[in-house]
Amino acid sequence: MSRLIVVSNRVTVPERPGEAPAGGLAVALSAALKEYSGFWFGWSGATTSEFSNRIQMRRINDVTVVTVDLEESDFQEYYNGFANGTLWPLFHYRIDLTAYDRSFSEGYERVNHRFAQTLAPLIEPDDLIWVHDYHLIPLGRELRLLGVTNPIGFFLHIPWPAPQILTTLPRHRKLVESLFSYDLVGFQTDEWLWAFESYVLGEAGGAWAADGRLQAFGQTLRAQAFPIGLDLEEFQELARSPVALRAFDRMAAHSVFRSLIVGVDRLDYSKGLEERLYGFEAFLEQNPELRREVLYLQVAPTSRGEVEAYQDLRGRIDALCGRINAIYADMDSAPIRYVNRGYRRDELAGIYRAASVCLVTPLRDGMNLVAKEYVAAQDPDDPGVLMLSRFAGAARQMTEAVIVNPYSREELADGLKLALSMSLAERRARYESLMAGIRRSNVKVWRDSFVDALATAHEPFLPLMDGAGEEPVLPRARISPSDVSEPSEA
């Protein structure tokens, strides 16, 4: 069997079950690496004054992890800069927050080049290479330039934006062209896949090849949706653990006579926290009789605290929670408990189970695993209700949730009222359907279908068809260093 090389910005092999920050994704990828052998490659999380190709190799829980340090300027320009200051907001439709800074894109190219240089010598002829997420879009191309001919796949965990949004990025063509060095490009949902296809066909002059591949820039790739799921057994085991039961008891004791409403999100503007708080305020305003009946716990661990937009957001959320509590609190109760820290994964499972409603209302989200975790943690006999933004990738699968528009305070307030008053029979019916979907579309299915598709997508020379799908027009081209020229600035 081929080895599998997983590449992501950070490497997060879980050391002990239940511990943050590893999530189901890390667990699933670690399990894949145990099955296929191979290793996980990425940034160590450390910075040095000068870059060196020196790698650190460790075994964690039977998984080989290979990491490399970044230079301080790489961290600023690549990680805080282009990845989290440019691509993250842009791909979440926030062009108002997007930094269009040339030094950031140079840092991004540089780090991808350095990753490729460090990784290439470790690759063996039969290896499958699976690159993850927006930090590493150009990595496949950089590897091809170094002569790597193995199957290389890429999976985007976040949304792919509509062409009208993407084209605000200088050098957007270069970014998309680099994706064509992969054999397979995966998205979370059909919506993001269609947005990508729409760019390729409408903006890049691309066409469909005979077998359903996309061709553009003289190359072809297969693009497909692979919705990510949970490691259900792992999560349900966590939910039954003593730590989870204790967290459940603590929350149940603190919300006696009240319904617990929970939100769990990294403190990120894409998660719609501000809008959600305004919606909750509208709910309190419109339902005076329910003010003492609810407790909204928002868990929001700080994320990317070095980026200005995140610092601003934190200040606004702090102020908003304070204001709403000041208006609606009584001497012995306050409607919001806002916790600006993370919890262990097993504690989270207990908190989810204690909550009657979970608010998952991102403004835009690739998938959203919290929605799935909440449902998986419920008591089948008395399940809570998931309220889900129509703009989360998860909403395309989890249609039995209470689906809301997160921009509308009225819809949020009405949705919350509906969720809190839902009959047991309806909650159970919705829970059963949601769980069936979570079982069907679990993380192993996601992983294995991607890896299988990657193994078969790799066809070095494939005749392409013209736009009508009739005649072969181009042979599939592979990049070699000599035929690479700087793409024109868009």
- Buried b or exposed e, range 311-328, using 16+ CB within 10 angstroms: eebbeebeebbeebeeeb
Binding mask 25-54 for ligand GDG (x = CB under 6 A): x-----------------------------
| Angle ∠(132,134,140) on CA atoms, nearest 5 | 60
Sole window of 175-183, 244-252, 337-345, 411-419 interacting with ligand GDG (rule: CB under 6 A): 337-345
DSSP letters for 70-105: EEHHHIIIIIIIIIIIIIHHHHTT-GGG----HHHH
Contact between 345 and ligand GDG by CB under 6 A: the answer reads: yes
* Catalytic-role residue among 231, 265, 268, 365: 365
Asked if 452 is an active-site residue, the reply is no
Q: Whose Cβ is closer to ligand GDG: residue 234's or residue 365's?
A: 365
List the interface residues with ligand GDG, window 154-173 (CB under 6 A).
157-158
**Nearest distance in Å: CB 348, ligand GDG:** 5
Would you count residue 366 as binding ligand GDG (CB under 6 A)? yes
Cβ 413 vs Cβ 282: under 8 Å: yes
Cα separation of 276 and 70, whole Å? 37
Are the CB atoms for 31 and 120 separated by under 8 Å?
no
Comparison of 320 and 369: residue with beta carbon closer to ligand GDG: 369
Single out the segment in contact with ligand GDG by CB under 6 A; choices: 248-256, 364-372, 400-408, 426-434. 364-372
N-to-C CA span, the chain:
42
17 is an interface residue for ligand GDG by CB under 6 A: no
Least Cα distance to 476 among 222, 220, 221 occurs for: 220
Stretch of 45-53, 344-352, 437-445, 465-473 contacting ligand GDG, by CB under 6 A: 344-352
Instruction: Please tell me whether residue 343 binds ligand GDG under the rule CB under 6 A.
Output: yes
Q: Which is nearer to ligand GDG, 75 or 391 (CB)?
A: 391
Q: Which residues contact 119 (CB under 8 A, 6 or more apart)?
A: 5, 7, 41, 143
Of 20 and 201, CB closest to ligand GDG: 20
Residues 245-304 contacting ligand GDG, CB under 6 A: 264, 266, 299, 301
Axis-axis angle for helices 345-354, 242-254 (nearest 10): 40
Query: Rounded distance, CA 229 to CA 368, Å?
Result: 9
- With CB under 6 A as the contact rule, the residue among 152, 232, 267, 348 that binds ligand GDG is 348
Q: Which is nearer to ligand GDG, 200 or 244 (CB)?
A: 244
Contacts to ligand GDG from residues 203-242, by CB under 6 A: 228
In one letter, which amino acid is 152? I
**Judging by beta carbons within 10 Å of its beta carbon (0-12, 13-18, 19+), is residue 37 exposed, middle or buried?**
middle
Size of site (CB under 6 A) for ligand GDG: 22
Choose one: 4-12, 59-67, 343-351, 420-428; the region binding ligand GDG (CB under 6 A): 343-351
Choose the catalytic residue: 92, 135, 157, 172. Answer: 157
174 forms part of the interface with ligand GDG (CB under 6 A): no
Task: Quote the CA–CA distance of 141 and 331 in Å, as a whole number.
Answer: 61
CB of 204 to ligand GDG, least distance (A): 25
Which one of the spans 17-25, 120-128, 141-149, 192-200 is the region binding ligand GDG (CB under 6 A)? 17-25
Quickly count: other Cβ atoms within 10 Å of residue 144's Cβ.
Answer: 23
Strand 38-48 and strand 63-71: the pairing is: parallel
CB of 367 to ligand GDG, least distance (A): 3
361 belongs to the binding site for ligand GDG (CB under 6 A): no
Of the two residues 186 and 383, which places its CB atom closer to ligand GDG in the complex? 186
Q: Residues of 200-237 as b/e, b for ≥16 C-beta within 10 angstroms?
A: bbebbebbbbeeebbbbbebbbbbbebbbbbbbebbee
365 catalytic? Reply is yes
For the annotated catalytic residues, the residue numbers are: 157, 365
Q: Which residues bind ligand GDG (CB under 6 A)?
A: 20, 23, 25, 157-158, 228, 264, 266, 299, 301, 342-345, 348, 365-370, 373
